[in-house]
Structure 1
Amino acid sequence: MYIAKIVGTLKYALIPFIALFFIACANIFNTFGIKDRIDPSLPTINQLRILPDVSEVAFEWDLPSDVRMINGYVIFRENPKGEFQKVAIVKNPFATHYYDKHLIPQTRYVYAISTIGRDGSISPRSTPVATTTSFIDPVTLFYASKDYARSVKLIWSPSANPSVTGYIIEREVLKDGKKAFIKVGTTKDRFLSEYFDKDLEDGTSYNYRVISQSFAKSLSLPSNILEGRTRFLPDPIVNIKASDDRPKQIYIEWDKSKDRDVVSYNVYYSSTLEGAYSLLANVKGNSYLDNLQSDGTRRFYKVSAVDIYKLESKLSFGAAEGRSLPKPTTPTIVTKSFVNNIASFSWSKPSEARIKSYIVYRKAGFFKDPDKFDIDGNSFSDKEMKPGIKYTYSVSSVDDNGLVSEPSSTLTFEVGQKILVAPVSPMIPPKTLGDTSPESKHKTTHKKKHSEKE
C-alpha cells in the first residue's frame, strides 16, 4: 500500500522532468541528431564538388582547417520550395566523400554542406552547388518483323552504357480511349537485344519501344518507336464442289490456294448447312474423297488453307453440298398370277437410266434363306414349286454401279392356290423358272444368283 502511494507521488513529480528531457533531446538531436543552432566559429567547407549520375550524385570535399573542432558533416538538398533540408549525416570528421541516391534522372538538384561541432551545432552552409542528374542514352530499335505467325520479333542495338543490365519492352495500347505504352516483357542482359512478343492477333500492326535499365533500376530514355505486324492468315478457299453421283462416296475439290506458303488443306463437314462443322481430314492436294460406305448420304463441306506456320485460313464462304449415290428406285409389282402350279408376276421398270437389271428373291417356307435370281427383263415365272410349301417373292432393282434397291412388297403363293390377274404389260412375256423347251431356254430361263446358305 505504501509502495503504491510512493509510485503515484513519483509519477506526478517526474512528469515535468521527463518533458524537459525530451525537449532537450529534440534540440540536441533535431533532424539527424544535430542542433539547428549555427556556430560561425566552426570551420566551413570552401568547395563542394559534385559528380552526377543517372539516379545518384557523388560528393567530394577537402578536410577543414581544424578537424579537431568537428564530429562530422551534414548534407543539405534544396526542396521544390527552395528550402534546404538535411538529407544525410556523415559521422566521421575525416570523411571527404558521400553520395545521394534514389534520385530522378534528368532532374536539377542543389546541394550544400556544413560541419558539425562537438556540441551538435553546425557551421554556416557552403556555397550551394547545382547539378543535374544524367540519363542513359536510348537504344536504337531498328527491326520489327512483319511476317511472323502471331508474334513480332524485335531487335535493337545493345546499350553502350556498362551499367545497363537489361531492357524493358513496351507496346502501345489503347487504354481508356487514349494511347499508352505498357510493359510486355524484359530481358536480363545488356547484350541480349532481341525479344519476341507472342500470342498476338493475326494480321495486326503494333507499335513498340525499348527502355534500358541499369543495375540501380535507372531507366534510359525510350527508344524510337517502330511498327511491327503479325502475319496475315491465308486467303479463304473458293470454288468448292462436291459430287452427287458416286456410289458410297462423295468427291470434293476446290481451287488451289495462290499463297505459296500454303502446304495443306483442312476439310470440314456437317450434316446440315448451318450446323457445326467437324474436321474430316487434312490433305496435301486440292481434292478429297469421302468414303461414306452408305447410300444417299448428304453432307455439306467447307475447306480451309494451312500454311507452313500452321496458320489456318477462315473457312470458305458458303458450303458445297454433296451426296453419295442413293439406291435405285424399288420396282413396283404390277401383275401376278398362279396357273397350273406356276407362279408368275411382272413389275414396272423404274425410269432411272442407270438401272440395268433386277434381283428376284424367292423364299420357300419360313426358315430357309431366300434364293436370288438375276433378271434382265421385268417378269418372272416359277415352275419348280413343290406342294405343301408356301413361297414368298420380292424384287429389287440393280444399277450399273451394283447398287441394289430396297425389295419390293412381297407376293405369296402356295401349290393348290389359283389366282388369275390380267397382266398390265402383256407385251412382255413372263420368264419361267423350270421351262425346258429350247425356246424357253433361250428367252425365259432365269439365272439363279445364289442362296444365303448354299
Structure 2
Amino acid sequence: MSKHANQHDSQTGWNRRTLCLFITSAIITLTFLSPTAWADKPSAQRTAPPVINVQVSPDARLTIYKSVILLPALTEGETIDEPLSNALSRALGNLHKYHVLRPENVESWLKKKLKSDKNLSMAELAHQAGIDLRASAIITAEAHPRQKIGELLVRLDSTPVTTWDIVMWDTRNGQPVWKLTISHQDVVPAQEKTKETTTILAQAIAALEKKMVSKGDIFSTQLPQPEVLSTQGDIRSVRIVLQPNPPHIFSRYQLLRAEDPKAVFRPTGPPVANKTPLILVDHGLRDATSYYYTVIGINNAGLANVPATPFAITTTGAPSSVHNLHAAGGSLRHIQLFWEPSQDPTVKEYVIYRSVNSDGPFKKIAIVSGRDQQTYIDKGQPSGYSRYGVLADNSRYFYIIRTRNIVGVTSEDSQIVSATTKGVPQPPTNLQAIDRQPKKIPLAWAASSDPDVVGYAIFRAQAPKGPFQQIEYVSGRENQQYVDDGSWEHPLQNDTTYWYRLRAVNVVEAQSPDSGTVSAITKAAPQAVIGVKAANGLFRKINLGWQPNPEPDIDHYEIYRGTIADNIRTKITTVGPKKTTYTDMGLADSRTYWYRIRAVDQDGLTGAWSAVVHATTKHPPVQPKGLKAIVGPSGILLSWKKNPEPDIDHYEISNGSFLSGQLGDSKKPQFFYPHPVKPGSEFKFLVRAVDQDGLESAYSEPLVIMRPE
C-alpha cells in the first residue's frame, strides 16, 4: 500500500527524500563524532541511538479526546505488524493521557478497508475509521524497513534501518494532532526485537509527552479529578481544601477561576505542591462576590486531569462590631480593656481608639492582632515594653474599638467606655529622728501600704523652713529606716541640728506630698585638751603631761609633733584614755620640738587641739678653752680651763690623727704626755669634754709644740 505512505507523508509536511536525508545526516554525524563507540564491539552490535522527531499541532491543546482508537500497525501500508501494535499499545498506556481502545472488530475492519480500497491515504483511512468506529481520534502506525545500500534510509556500513511513522488524527477535521517519526537500526537478533521495540517506543512516547506539555496539550482523560473536601468564602479571598492524591498521580495542583461558569478559566497563581494539608487560597477578590472555580491535578510529567464542573464560592463583607467592651481603672498610668472576641472568622485584628472626652475626638492608639484576643493595656505609648505606662495620674479616658478583617475593612464603632488612672502615693507617716549620734542622724518611719510604692525620697535642711534638698533615695517599700551620715565631701557637723522630710515614690517615679518635718542634733566632739606641759633639757627626750578630758567616753589621745611652731603635723603616737603623760624618745641633741594634743572619743569624734607647747633637748658640753703646755725633760704637761657643766665625766686628749689620734683621757683639766721632746720633733694636741650622758663637746683649738734642731 505505497500510496498510503506517499499521501501520508505529503499531508504531514514531510517527503521521503527530506526525511531520508535528515536521518542519514544524523546517523553519519553520530558515526563520525563517536568513532570509539564502535571500535571494540562486534559489527552486529554497533547500534546508534534511534532518531526521534516529534511534532505536536498548536491546536492540540484546544481539544480533549475522550475516545481514542489505536489501529493495528502496518508494514509498508500492507500487512499488520502485530508486535509493533502490541508494543505501541503498551507505550500509549504508560502515557496516561488517552483512553486508548482496541475494539475486537478493529482488525477485521482494517483488513476489509485495505482490501476494498487500496488507494486510501493514511489520513483518509484514519478519518474513515474515526467515523465508522465512533472515535474522537485515531492513532495509526506504519513501519518502513530499508535493507539495500542504494536506498535512502541506510547507513554507509549497510546496516538496515527501519522508520516508524506514528500519527494521531483528529476525526473532526482529519488533521494530525501529533506525529512521531522514529528511525532506528534493525540489527538485534529476533529474540530481542520485542524488547528493543519496547525500549525505543518508551523513549519516543517520553519525547512526545515532553513536547505536548511544552505546547500546552496537558489534559488527560486518564487522570482522576481532584476531590474537593470543603470550600469557604472569606474577606476578598476563598479557601478550598482538597483530598490529596498519591504523589505518583499528582505532584501539584492548579486552581482555575472565572467570574462566569461559561467564561474562560484562568490560573489564580502558581501550582501548589501535593502535601498535607492541601489548601488552595485565592486572594485579591471583591467583597460579597461569587466566583467560579475548578481544580486540576498535575503529574510529574506536566499532564493534568480534565477539569471538573465548576463550583461557586462567594466572598464575605465587612466584619461585625465588638460587643461587651469594658475598661478597668485604678491602675498606675495605664488602663486595661476587655471585650468579647469576635465570632466573625474574617476578623484578624482590633483597632483601639482613645479620647479624653466622651464626645471625642477619638484617636487611634493601637492595633491588636488576632481574632481571639480580648484584652489590651493602654499605657499611653505606641510601642516599647514598659510595665507601667505614661498616662496622666488620676485622669479619666474614653475608648471605642473596631474590628478589622484581613483586607483592612473595619466594623462600626463599639459602645464608649471609660476608666480613671490611679493617683500619686500618700505621704509617709510616723517620721522620727534620733538625737546625739556621732556625725549621723538615724531616721525611721511607717512603711507605705501602697503596693506601687518602691522607695522613699529623703530631704534635709539646716533650718526649719528649708530650703530642703534631696539627700538620698531608699529603695524598697518595706524599708523603714535610714541613717544620714552626710557625704564624703560634706559630712554632718558635730553638735548641729538638721531638719528632715520624706516622700513616697512609686514605680513610675511619681512622688507623694511631703511628710511631716522632724529634727535632730548630732553629738558634740570632745573638748580641747588643757594643761599640756613639756620638760626641757633632757637627754634626747622630752616629757609631756596634760589634764584628763571630762568626757566619759574618751577612747585615746593623739599626740602630734613638729620642728617648727606652725607645722605640727606628725602624729607620733596615741595613748589610752587613762594616761596623761608621754615621753618622746630618740630625739636630736640640742633641738627644740613643738607639740599639740587632742582627744578622740569612742565614736571617733576628734576634739579641738590643745595649746601648742615646746621643749628643747639637752645641749652637748661647750668647747674646752685655754689649752697650754709645759715641756719637761720627761714629757709634756697639758692643762686647760675646767668646763662649766656640772656633769662632765672626763676629757679626751687627741693629736688629731684619724687612725691613732687618741692619746688618753683625764678626769681633771690636765694631762701628762710622757714623751721627751727631742730636737727637730713636733707635737699637736686637742682636748674635748664628755658629760655623763656621753655627749661630746667640740675639740678645743689645737696646740702645736716644736723643738728646733
TM-score for both structures, normalised by structure 1: 0.63
SS for the counterpart of 1:274 is coil
Which has the higher relative contact order, 1 or 2, with Cα contacts under 8 A spaced 6 or more apart? 1
Contact 2:528–2:609 (CA under 8 A) maintained in structure 1: yes
Change in Cα spacing, 1:410 to 1:97, as seen in structure 2 (3 Å) is same
- Which one-letter code corresponds to 1:295 in the other structure? D
Contact 2:652–2:689 (CA under 8 A) maintained in structure 1: no
Contact 1:360–1:393 (CA under 8 A) maintained in structure 2: no
1:395 Cα offset (Å): 4.4
SS for the counterpart of 2:651 is strand
Q: 1:359 aligns with which of 650, 670, 681?
A: 650
1:292 equivalenced with 2:586 (yes/no)? yes
1:161 equivalenced with 2:439 (yes/no)? no
1:52 equivalenced with 2:330 (yes/no)? yes
Contact 2:564–2:593 (CA under 8 A) maintained in structure 1: yes
> How do residues 332-347 of structure 1 correspond to structure 2 at under 5 angstroms?
332-333=625-626, 337-338=630-631, 341=635, 343-347=637-641
1:296 Cα offset (Å): 0.6
Residue range with higher mean Cα deviation, 138-147 or 292-301:
138-147
1:258 equivalenced with 2:561 (yes/no)? no
- Which one-letter code corresponds to 1:298 in the other structure? T
Residues 186-240 of structure 1 deviation map (CA, whole Å, 9 limit, x = unaligned): 43x44343444553514165555555455x5454525625446655544443443
Q: 2:616 aligns with which of 323, 328, 334?
A: 323
Residues 295-342 of structure 1 deviation map (CA, whole Å, 9 limit, x = unaligned): 21111122232332334345445x222211112333422765446655
Change in Cα spacing, 1:96 to 1:344, as seen in structure 2 (3 Å) is closer
CA distance, structure 1, for counterparts of residue 497 and residue 403 of structure 2: 62
Change in Cα spacing, 1:130 to 1:363, as seen in structure 2 (3 Å) is closer
**Counterpart of 1:123?**
413
Change in Cα spacing, 1:180 to 1:173, as seen in structure 2 (3 Å) is same
Q: 2:365 aligns with which of 79, 84, 87?
A: 87
**Counterpart of 1:283?**
575
Unaligned runs of 5+ in 2: 1-318, 380-388
**Counterpart of 2:480?**
193
Contact 1:73–1:89 (CA under 8 A) maintained in structure 2: yes
Q: 2:672 aligns with which of 368, 382, 389?
A: 382
Residue range with higher mean Cα deviation, 241-250 or 153-162:
153-162
**Counterpart of 1:110?**
397
Unaligned runs of 5+ in 1: 1-40, 418-454
Change in Cα spacing, 1:114 to 1:345, as seen in structure 2 (3 Å) is closer
CA distance, structure 2, for counterparts of residue 370 and residue 185 of structure 1: 84
- Which one-letter code corresponds to 1:78 in the other structure? V
- Which one-letter code corresponds to 2:617 in the other structure? S
Contact 1:168–1:183 (CA under 8 A) maintained in structure 2: no
Change in Cα spacing, 1:390 to 1:117, as seen in structure 2 (3 Å) is closer
Q: Compare the two structures and name the one with the higher helix fraction.
A: 2
SS for the counterpart of 1:296 is coil
Contact 1:76–1:88 (CA under 8 A) maintained in structure 2: no
Contact 1:249–1:291 (CA under 8 A) maintained in structure 2: yes
Change in Cα spacing, 1:390 to 1:116, as seen in structure 2 (3 Å) is same
Change in Cα spacing, 1:92 to 1:250, as seen in structure 2 (3 Å) is same
Q: Choose 1 or 2 for highest CA Rg.
A: 2
Q: Compare the two structures and name the one with the higher strand fraction.
A: 1
1:167 Cα offset (Å): 1.7
Contact 1:268–1:281 (CA under 8 A) maintained in structure 2: yes
Q: 1:372 aligns with which of 653, 665, 684?
A: 665
> How do residues 408-427 of structure 1 correspond to structure 2 at under 5 angstroms?
408-413=700-705
CA distance, structure 2, for counterparts of residue 208 and residue 99 of structure 1: 39
How many residues are aligned here?
A: 360
Change in Cα spacing, 1:90 to 1:332, as seen in structure 2 (3 Å) is same
CA distance, structure 2, for counterparts of residue 365 and residue 347 of structure 1: 20
Residues 12-55 of structure 1 deviation map (CA, whole Å, 9 limit, x = unaligned): xxxxxxxxxxxxxxxxxxxxxxxxxxxxx986878855431232
SS for the counterpart of 1:333 is coil
SS for the counterpart of 1:111 is strand
Contact 2:651–2:690 (CA under 8 A) maintained in structure 1: no
Q: 2:512 aligns with which of 221, 229, 232?
A: 221
1:249 Cα offset (Å): 0.7
CA distance, structure 1, for counterparts of residue 360 and residue 622 of structure 2: 104
Residues 362-402 of structure 1 deviation map (CA, whole Å, 9 limit, x = unaligned): 34795352311112xxx425274444476555444565766
Residues 108-164 of structure 1 deviation map (CA, whole Å, 9 limit, x = unaligned): 2232325447632542752x6463523333333634455555555443333323444
SS for the counterpart of 1:371 is strand
SS for the counterpart of 1:372 is strand
- Which one-letter code corresponds to 2:615 in the other structure? G
Change in Cα spacing, 1:167 to 1:205, as seen in structure 2 (3 Å) is farther
Q: RMSD in angstroms over aligned alpha carbons? A: 4.3
- Which one-letter code corresponds to 1:361 in the other structure? E
Q: 1:268 aligns with which of 549, 554, 560?
A: 560
> How do residues 176-187 of structure 1 correspond to structure 2 at under 5 angstroms?
179=467, 181-182=469-470, 184-187=472-475
Change in Cα spacing, 1:335 to 1:391, as seen in structure 2 (3 Å) is closer
Residues 47-84 of structure 1 deviation map (CA, whole Å, 9 limit, x = unaligned): 855431232333456789x98998746342317x9854
Percent identical residues: 18
Change in Cα spacing, 1:157 to 1:337, as seen in structure 2 (3 Å) is same
CA distance, structure 2, for counterparts of residue 241 and residue 110 of structure 1: 82
CA distance, structure 1, for counterparts of residue 656 and residue 524 of structure 2: 71
SS for the counterpart of 2:336 is strand
Change in Cα spacing, 1:194 to 1:346, as seen in structure 2 (3 Å) is same
TM-score for both structures, normalised by structure 2: 0.43
Residue range with higher mean Cα deviation, 258-267 or 381-390:
381-390
Residues 252-284 of structure 1 deviation map (CA, whole Å, 9 limit, x = unaligned): 223333333321222222211223622222222
Change in Cα spacing, 1:229 to 1:95, as seen in structure 2 (3 Å) is farther
